[in-house]
């Protein structure tokens, strides 16, 4: 099921429906399938299409964290928090703030 969904979404990339929502959906499906590196690529594309898409920033951070790119995840969440603040998306802002604090805390924890 997930492989068929991913194939269907990939087939639409580059076409008239290509955009932030398509790339977000593809990134989400890839992350759910365990392919965090490919998910990160698609989620980066989603935020290129729409830099104010806070949900895409949030998921990009999760994908980067899954690839052990803590600095990249933190930066994605910082960008996402700014996007969420700009849109008044308080819930996304709160969630990403928690994720950011956690990754920063873990980075500063010597062991």
Section 72-91 average pLDDT = 97
- pLDDT tens-digit series, residues 23-75: 999 999 999 999 999 999 999 999 999 999 999 999 999 999 999 999 999 99
What contacts 18, CB < 8 A, 6 or more positions away?
12, 49
Mean residue pLDDT of the chain comes to 96
**Model's pTM, two decimal places?**
0.94
> What's the confidence (pLDDT) of residue 25?
98
> What's the confidence (pLDDT) of residue 40?
98
Sketch out the chain's domains with CATH numbers. 2-108 (1.25.40.10)
* Top-confidence residue, 85 or 110: 85
The candidate with the shortest Cα–Cα distance to 63, out of 77, 78, 84, is 77
Can you tell me the distance from the alpha carbon of 110 to that of 37, in angstroms, rounded to the nearest whole number? 27
Share of the chain above pLDDT 90, in %: 93
Residue 111 pLDDT exceeds 80: no
> What's the confidence (pLDDT) of residue 1?
61
Residue 21 pLDDT exceeds 90: yes
């Amino acid at each position: 099921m997930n492989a068929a969904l991913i194939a269907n979404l990939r087939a639409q990339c580059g076409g008239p429906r290509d955009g932030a929502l398509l790339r977000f959906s593809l990134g989400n499906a890839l992350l759910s399938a365990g392919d965090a590196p490919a998910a990160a690529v698609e989620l980066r594309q989603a935020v290129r299409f729409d830099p104010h898409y806070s949900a895409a920033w949030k998921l990009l951070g999760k994908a980067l964290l899954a690839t052990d790119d803590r600095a990249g995840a933190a930066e994605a969440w910082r960008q996402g928090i700014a996007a969420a603040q700009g849109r008044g998306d308080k819930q996304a802002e709160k969630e990403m703030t928690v994720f950011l604090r956690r990754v920063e805390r873990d980075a500063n924890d010597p062991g």
